[in-house]
A and B are shown apart, each in its own frame.
Chain A
Amino acid sequence: MGVGVAQSGLARKEQVSGWLFVMPALVLLGIFMIYPILWSLWMSFQVGRGMAFSFGGFANIIRLTQDPVFLRALTNTLVFLAIQVPIMLVLALLFASALNDSKLWGRGFFRTAIFLPCVTSLVAYSVIFKSMFAGDGVINQVLLGLHIVSTPIPWLADPFWAKFVVVSAITWRWTGYNMIFYLAAMQNIDRSIYEAARIDGVPTWARFWYITVPMLKPVILFTAVISTIGTLQLFDEPNLLTQGGPSDSTLTLSMYIYNLSFRFMPSFGYAATVSYVIVVLVAILSYIQFLVARDRRA
C-alpha cells in the first residue's frame, strides 16, 4: 500500500516535470504557429482589401485558377523544386560517400571546403553571384576565354538563364549542408559490411547503391522533405538575385504572397489562399516521399 502511494506520487512528479520542460515551447508554438496557421485558413475565405474584408466563400480559389501571375509563380516554383532538389541531394550523397573513405587524403580539407558555402551570409552570396554572372562578368570571361561560348550568355536578362543562375546559387549554398547529414549518418554504418562486400568483389557503384543508399534511407528522406519545404517557399535568392525577373520568370509563390500583401494594395485574403497552396503542396509531396521511402524498404 505504502509503496503504491509513493510510486504514484513519484509518477505525478515525473508528469509535472515533463510538462514544465516542454511547456514554454508548446505555448510559443501555439501563439506563433498554430494560431496563425488557423487564422490564415480562415482568411483564405475572405475577400476585400486592407483590413476591410468579408466572407467570400470559394471566390479566392476561383481567382487562383484565372490568375496568370499565380500560375506562372506556381510553375516556376515547381520547376525549381524538380530540378534543384534532386541535383543537390545526389551531389551531396556522392561527395559524402567519397569523403567517408578513411584512406582518402585531405578529407578534412575537402569536407570544410564543400561545407563552407553554407557559412556565407545570405546577402553576401547573392551579391557575389549577381556580380559573377553580370553580362561581361567573370563567368562569361572564363567561358569566352576557354572558347566554350562565342558570345556572352545573358545570365540575368534571359528567362531560362536567370532560372539557371538561381538554381546554381541555391545548389552552391546548400549541397554541403546536406552532405554533413549524410556524412554523420554514414559513421553509423558498420565498416565490416563494406569490407565483406569488397572481399566478395562487389564493385564500388554497387556498394554505394546497395549498401549506402538503403542504409541512409531515413536521412535521405529527412533531407528530401526539408529541402522540398525550403524550395517550395523560396524567396530570398530570387528576390536578391533577379527580383523575380526578367518578366516574372523567377517569380516564386512566396514572392507573390509578399507582393500581394506588402507591395501592392494589401489583399490578405487572396494572399492567404496562395499561401495555402504551398501548405497543400508540402503536405502532398511529403506524403509521397514517405510512401516512396516505405515502398523501397519492403
Chain B
Amino acid sequence: MSNPLALIGRAATYLALSLAAFVSVFPFVWMVIAATNTSPDIIKGKATPGSALFANIGTFLNSVDLPRVLFNSFFIAGAGTALTLLVSSLAGYGFEMFRSRFREKLFGGLLLMLSIPFAALMIPLFVMMANLKLINTYQAIILPTVAWVFIIFYFRQATKAFPHELRDAARIDGLKEWQIFLYVYMPVMRSTYAAATIIVFMMHWNNYLWPLIVLQTNEMFTLTLAVAALSAGYTPDFGLVMVGAIVATLPTLIIFFLLQRRFVEGMLGAVK
C-alpha cells in the first residue's frame, strides 16, 4: 500500500483536485469581494474587500426595477419549470410504461430531435410568435420549452428503475392511470424530479438568447437580460453589475444546496 510511487500519485491527485476546486470557487469569492469595491478598483484587480458595497447596491437599485425584474424571472422560471416537468415526465413515463412498436419508432425520432439546434428554430419561432401577437409576453418565452426532448429522455431512462409491481398493485386497487401517475409514480420518483428541477430551473433562469429576441420592453426584462444590459460595453460599472451578478446567482445556488442530496440520487437513477 505505501510504496513511494503510490504516495506520489496520491499527492498529485490531491494537488490536482485542490487546484481544480480553487479555480472553481475563486470566481465566486471574487464576485463577492468585487461587489464591495468601486469599478476602477475592480478592473485594477483589487482583491481585498472595499467600502463601496452600499454605494453599489444603491446604484444597482436605481438602474434596475428589481421587484419587477425578479417577478418576471421567477414567474418565467417557476411556471416554465412546473410545465416542463409535468409534460416531459408524462411523456417519459408514457414511453417507458406503455410500449408499442409505433411509439418506439417515434421515440427514436425524438432522439434525433435532440440534435436540432435552437439557432435553426429561432427565426421561425420569432415569426410564429409575431403572427400570434405574442411578442413581449411570458407565453412566448415559456411555450417553446415545455416539451423538452432532453428531459423526456431523462425521465424515460429514470423510469426504467420504477417497479412495475407498484403499478400493477395500484391497478388492482382500482386506481386510474392518471391517479397512478400522480399518487404513485411522482412521489416514488421524487429524486428524479429534484434533479430535473435543478437542471430545468437553471435553464429557464439563465435563458438569454430567446428572451433577448422576444422580450422588448424594460418592464418585461428578466434579471438575466437586465444584468446583461448593464454589463454591455467595454467598461461597464462593474461595482453595480457585481451586485446584479450576486442577485442572479443566489436563487440557483439556494435551489442547488436545498436539493443537492436528491440531485445526486436522481442523476444516479437516470444514468443506469
Q: CA separation between A22 and B106, bound complex, in Å?
A: 10
A114 close to B98 (CB less than 8 A):
no
> Does B67 sit at the interface, judged by CB under 8 A?
no
B260 close to A112 (CB less than 8 A):
yes
- Contacting B271 at CB < 8 Å: which of A33, A35, A105, A219? A219
CB-CB under 8 A from A43, the residues of chain B are 123-124
Known contacts A121-B206, A122-B206, A275-B119; is A136 also within 8 Å of B45 by CB? yes
CB-CB under 8 A from B23, the residues of chain A are 172
Known contacts A25-B152, A121-B252, A137-B43; is A15 also within 8 Å of B100 by CB? yes
CB-CB under 8 A from B123, the residues of chain A are 40, 43, 257, 261, 268, 271-272, 275
Q: CA separation between A262 and B120, bound complex, in Å?
A: 14
A181 close to B271 (CB less than 8 A):
yes
Q: CA separation between A188 and B270, bound complex, in Å?
A: 11
CB-CB under 8 A from A141, the residues of chain B are 44-45, 47
A98 close to B17 (CB less than 8 A):
yes
B27 close to A25 (CB less than 8 A):
no
Q: CA separation between A251 and B126, bound complex, in Å?
A: 22
> Does A278 sit at the interface, judged by CB under 8 A?
yes
Count the A residues whose beta carbon is within 8 Å of the partner chain — how many?
99
> Does B248 sit at the interface, judged by CB under 8 A?
yes
B252 close to A136 (CB less than 8 A):
no
Main secondary structure of the interface of B (DSSP, over half): helix
> Does A158 sit at the interface, judged by CB under 8 A?
no
B120 close to A276 (CB less than 8 A):
yes
> Does B196 sit at the interface, judged by CB under 8 A?
no
Q: CA separation between A141 and B45, bound complex, in Å?
A: 7
A97-112 vs B, CB cutoff 8 Å, 1 = contact: the mask equals 0110000110001101
B250-272 vs A, CB cutoff 8 Å, 1 = contact: the mask equals 00110010001000100110111
Known contacts A21-B90, A40-B123, A138-B47; is A240 also within 8 Å of B118 by CB? no
Known contacts A25-B90, A236-B208; is A275 also within 8 Å of B30 by CB? no
CB-CB under 8 A from A19, the residues of chain B are 94, 103
- Contacting A121 at CB < 8 Å: which of B93, B120, B127, B224? B224
B121 close to A33 (CB less than 8 A):
yes
Count the B residues whose beta carbon is within 8 Å of the partner chain — how many?
89
Residue of B with least CB distance to A27: B147
A184-210 vs B, CB cutoff 8 Å, 1 = contact: the mask equals 110110000000000000001000000
A121 close to B248 (CB less than 8 A):
yes
- Contacting A127 at CB < 8 Å: which of B116, B231, B253? B231
B245 close to A121 (CB less than 8 A):
yes
Q: CA separation between A257 and B123, bound complex, in Å?
A: 9
- Using a CB-CB cutoff of 8 Å, which residues 93-115 of chain B contact chain A? 93-95, 97-100, 103, 106, 110, 113-115
Known contacts A28-B87, A121-B248, A131-B34; is A40 also within 8 Å of B120 by CB? yes
- Contacting A95 at CB < 8 Å: which of B20, B152, B205? B20
CB-CB under 8 A from B53, the residues of chain A are none
> Does A119 sit at the interface, judged by CB under 8 A?
yes
Q: CA separation between A181 and B244, bound complex, in Å?
A: 31
B242 close to A172 (CB less than 8 A):
no
Q: CA separation between A99 and B123, bound complex, in Å?
A: 43
B43 close to A29 (CB less than 8 A):
no
Q: Can you name 26 A-B residue pairings with CB atoms under 8 Å? A: A27-B147, A28-B147, A29-B149, A95-B17, A105-B14, A117-B24, A118-B202, A120-B28, A121-B206, A121-B223, A124-B245, A127-B238, A130-B231, A131-B30, A131-B42, A137-B44, A137-B45, A138-B30, A172-B23, A183-B267, A229-B115, A232-B117, A233-B118, A253-B119, A258-B209, A261-B122
Residues of A within 8 A of B (CB): 14-15, 17-22, 24-29, 32-37, 39-40, 43, 51, 91, 94-95, 98-99, 104-105, 109-110, 112-114, 116-132, 134-142, 172, 176, 180-181, 183-185, 187-188, 204, 219, 225-226, 229, 232-233, 235-236, 239-240, 243, 253-254, 257-258, 261-262, 268, 271-272, 275-276, 278-279, 282-283, 286
Given A18-B100, A113-B20; 6 other pairs, CB 8 A cutoff: A21-B93, A26-B147, A114-B20, A124-B246, A129-B27, A239-B208
Sort A-B residue pairs by CB-CB distance and give the 9 closest, nearest first.
A21-B94, A18-B98, A124-B245, A36-B124, A25-B91, A28-B147, A121-B248, A113-B21, A141-B45
